[in-house]
């Protein structure tokens, strides 16, 4: 019971510390994977010397540190943002059986909105009106 509690707390702390990373590298993922793998390896090695809990703790900490260092050297690609001018609006229209959505882009004109098929709306169309046309 004590071993399970210690392993669970090490795993939870590792995942909690790396779950909210917003950097463009893999340090969080490396810390998580390294911590889990290190705890497993340390527990197995420590079991051979009759101290599995201590081995899991030391292995988890060393694995997390090593994984974070290695992961920080691997860069993630920057997210691709699509710029749309203020005169374009994208509306997610639910499909007929609520199995998904269809993205419909409307273009604002001087007196209303124009849909993807060239249809004109004098005011911003409600979802139900768009659903009749685009809700596959």
Is residue 100 in some structural domain?
yes
pLDDT of residue 55: 75
In the prediction, which pLDDT does 118 show?
Answer: 93
Give the percent of the chain with pLDDT over 70: 71
Q: How many domains does the chain have?
A: 2
Residue 51 corresponds to which tokens in the numbers above?
Answer: 């101290």
The Cα–Cα gap between 50 and 44 comes to 10
Query: Per the domain annotation, does 78 fall within a domain?
Result: no
Shared domain for 24 and 48, answered yes or no, is yes
Across the chain, mean pLDDT equals 75
Residue 30 has pLDDT above 60, yes or no: yes
Residue 50: strand pairing partners = none
Residue 61 pLDDT greater than 90, yes or no: no
Q: Which band of pLDDT confidence, cut at 50, 70 and 90, is reported for residue 54?
A: confident
Residue ranges making up the domain that contains 122: 88-134
Could you tell me which residues come within 8 angstroms of residue 88 by beta carbon, excluding any fewer than 6 positions away? 105, 106, 107, 108
């Amino acid at each position: 019971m004590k071993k399970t509690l210690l392993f669970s707390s090490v795993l939870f702390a590792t995942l909690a510390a790396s779950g909210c990373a917003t950097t463009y590298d893999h340090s969080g993922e490396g810390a998580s994977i390294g911590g889990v793998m290190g705890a497993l390896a340390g527990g197995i090695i420590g079991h051979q010397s009759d101290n599995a809990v201590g081995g899991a703790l030391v292995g988890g900490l060393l694995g997390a540190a090593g994984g974070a260092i290695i992961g920080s050297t691997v860069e993630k690609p920057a997210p691709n943002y699509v710029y749309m001018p203020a005169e374009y609006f994208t509306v997610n229209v639910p499909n007929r059986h609520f199995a998904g959505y269809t993205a419909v882009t409307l273009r604002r004109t001087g007196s209303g909105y124009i849909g993807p098929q060239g249809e004109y709306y004098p005011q911003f169309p409600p979802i139900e009106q768009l659903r009749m046309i685009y809700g596959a």
